[in-house]
Amino acid sequence: MCGIVGYVGPGSAIGMLLGGLKRQEYRGYDSAGIAVIDDAGELETRKRAGKLGVLLGDLDGDSMPDGHTGIGHTRWATHGGPSDANAHPHLGDGGRLALIHNGIIENFAELKQEVLDAGGVFTSETDSEVAALLVGSLYRETGNLTDAMRRVVTRLEGAFTLLVMHQDEPGVVVGARRNSPLVVGVGDGENFLGSDVAAFVEHTRHALEIGQDQIVTIRPGSVEVIDFSGAPVTPHAFEVAWDASAAEKGGWPSFMKKEISEEPEAVAKTLIGRIHDGAVTLPELEPLAEVLDDIDRVVVIGCGTAAYAGMLGKYAIETWARVPVDVELSHEFRYRDPVLSPRTLVVSVSQSGETMDTLMAVKYAREHGARTLAICNTQGSTIPRESDAVLYTHAGPEVAVASTKAFVAQATALYLLGLYLAQRRGTLDGAQIAAQLAELQDLPDKLDQVVDAASARIAELAHWMGDTQSVLFLGRHVGYPIALEGALKLKELAYIHAEGFAAGELKHGPIALIEPGQIVFVIVPSPRDPSSLHPKVVSNIQEIRARGARVIAIAEIGDVAVVPYADEVIRIPFAAPLFEPLLAVVPLHIFGMELAMAKGLDVDQPRNLAKSVTVE
């Protein structure tokens, strides 16, 4: 949440800032603002509550002097509601300095009192304005923006990325980060700062990681990084693996529709270069090689969709590698004093790599002796840097707030991990591993079939269900996480009551919810598996149908046993049991999107949600 961008160079600062903010809209926000140092050397600001379009309309009606140095911000309200006054940038040093902030300053109250006692005047309700006034005050003493920033950030507690500029230093933007994202874009005679690479990928794919408790100063021809003590730092450079066109709709009506269509490609790209001659090759795990054979437990941590991908990973890892796996919600993990040891592998799952709850859980795990592996989609993000090793999913940018292609890519990475552990530990022989990998490699083509076959019919179903107020989802074994994921998508996108249940729990309470007309999606396992739960799930369908439920079954091609009892059957191709859920989830992603569209809702930016939750 919150998007930031900074620019220095020969181009239009306003154009660069607005473009960078537009490409970061998916992060979620409720106000927007920019500040530039114009060609006359004056600092100019404009900020408005509401979407970026409100700010753009304001600028169209009353133009703002342009320049070549600027910072821009989209704010998700925390301290103080969404309003023009609370929008960023905030000013210091008598309006000569502008500052933007992502995160929360936990000790702002005592710092604010200090500023008030010194005669300072506040114009907003935010914690961020404290930092602006403090940096402005110290700049008057030092005359050096980087040093003033350094002296302030050492006093701040909490999570923050700060960007600041001063009209006495045109061509300079200073940034600082602690527990909040910041990357540098390195251009030709121009440089950028951003919450993520989307802020500048249209202009450069050369990037630098800014680490924990580091300060960066950008000028048109230079980038200098120091730590909070003032010691020089050499930042890690990387190339952004996608270009700006990957983060554009490309003719699709929404980013979500585009990203659902990219689910097959997300799986394929996550597999590229990691399977050779029927074996798994993961050189990224070399930092963990010496401990992987000795681990006695895996803990997968994530939030929301990432946690459900982790649940699929649990089934796969336990089945193939015979290692016990726990799946924990990141925000609960470190608060219950979990039992960890050097033989525990903690696997974090995060699309953005900046999810604050997950980041804090990773740090907790390392501090308590566990080894850590990140599964992440975003280069240069914090969680991979805080982990012992990282498996990138290579799904490309996911702009819609509700994850779709990230889910299937995360599950694919966890499956690769499970087979890699089985390979190392000898719990599967070479032929068994090769067979599972062949199934995995077949998934992109099968996913293509599902997207093509299911889209039109599910759109029809969603539109006649436009006034639906409650939908239930049932699944067993690997179908259970899919039921949870389907319910989450419906809550996120269509704003209606939706619940996912393990089908075996039905008689233990949830069946009381069934009444005539109640819509229930059922993820039906394959009848071809001799140990399948298929007969039990069909029995569940009969039970709820007898009580008036309207049943929509997700079942494989050729499953005739469900036909007499389901009102609608959405077909998926044959797959081995552990791989069926990646096919079954696609119709549920489509349904959530289509029902939201039928209700006239914004599927890319659902209310109250942000793509990357960077505060606890």
In a domain, 369, yes or no: yes
User: Cα dihedral sign for 15, 18, 22, 27?
Assistant: positive
pLDDT, tens digit, 9 for 90 and up, residues 75-94: 877 777 889 999 999 999 99
Contact status, residue 405 vs residue 262, Cβ threshold 8 Å = yes
- 212 and 326 part of one domain: no
pLDDT, tens digit, 9 for 90 and up, residues 436-453: 999 999 999 999 999 998
- 57 and 122 part of one domain: yes
Mean pLDDT of 398-412: 94
pLDDT at 601 over 90: yes
Picking from 246, 267, 286, the residue at the C-terminal end of a domain is 246
The β-bridge relationship of strands 550-556 and 519-523 is: parallel
CATH assignment of the domain containing 401? 3.40.50.10490
Mean pLDDT of 289-313: 94
In a domain, 606, yes or no: no
pLDDT band at 179 (very low <50, low <70, confident <90, very high): confident
- 208 and 352 part of one domain: no
Known catalytic residues? 2, 611
Written as one string, the DSSP assignment of 304-373 is THHHHHHHHHHHHHHHHH---EEEEEHHHHGGG-----TTEEEEEEESSS--HHHHHHHHHHHHTT-EEE
User: Helix (H, G, I), strand (E, B), or coil: what is residue 607?
Assistant: coil
What is the 8-class DSSP label of residue 154? T
Residue 9's pLDDT is 97
Instruction: Domain count for the chain, please give it.
Output: 2
Residue 443's pLDDT is 96
pLDDT band at 343 (very low <50, low <70, confident <90, very high): very high
Contact status, residue 404 vs residue 351, Cβ threshold 8 Å = no
Q: Where are the alpha helices (H) located in 465-533, listed in sequence order?
A: 479-494
Residue 616's pLDDT is 61
In a domain, 236, yes or no: yes
- 199 and 341 part of one domain: no
pLDDT at 272 over 80: yes
Whole-number average pLDDT of the chain: 92
In a domain, 225, yes or no: yes
Residue 471 C-beta-side C-alpha neighbours within 13 Å? 28
Higher-scoring residue by pLDDT: 132, 243: 132
Angle at the Cα of 397 (from 54 to 269), degrees rounded to 5? 165
What is the 8-class DSSP label of residue 235? P
In a domain, 603, yes or no: no
- 239 and 290 part of one domain: no
pLDDT band at 379 (very low <50, low <70, confident <90, very high): confident
Distance CA 175, CA 195 (A): 11
In a domain, 615, yes or no: no
Residue 512's pLDDT is 87
- 474 and 579 part of one domain: yes
Range of the structural domain that residue 437 is part of? 255-598
Q: 14-28, 185-199, 326-340, 374-388: lowest mean pLDDT where?
A: 14-28
pLDDT band at 368 (very low <50, low <70, confident <90, very high): very high
In a domain, 353, yes or no: yes
Distance CA 187, CA 206 (A): 7
In a domain, 616, yes or no: no
- 419 and 553 part of one domain: yes
pLDDT band at 614 (very low <50, low <70, confident <90, very high): low
pLDDT, tens digit, 9 for 90 and up, residues 530-584: 777 889 998 899 999 989 999 999 999 999 999 999 999 999 999 999 999 999 9
Residue 38's pLDDT is 94
Picking from 190, 212, 246, the residue at the C-terminal end of a domain is 246
Query: pLDDT > 70: what percent of the chain?
Result: 98
**pTM: predicted TM-score of the whole model, two decimal places:** 0.82
Residue 30's pLDDT is 83
- 205 and 348 part of one domain: no
- 135 and 279 part of one domain: no
The neighbouring-strand residues paired with 327 are 300
- 73 and 215 part of one domain: yes
Retrieve residue 188's tokens.
Answer: 């030709």
pLDDT, tens digit, 9 for 90 and up, residues 223-238: 999 999 999 999 989 9
- 242 and 361 part of one domain: no
Contact status, residue 522 vs residue 510, Cβ threshold 8 Å = no
- 26 and 150 part of one domain: yes
Contact status, residue 224 vs residue 216, Cβ threshold 8 Å = yes
CATH assignment of the domain containing 24? 3.60.20.10
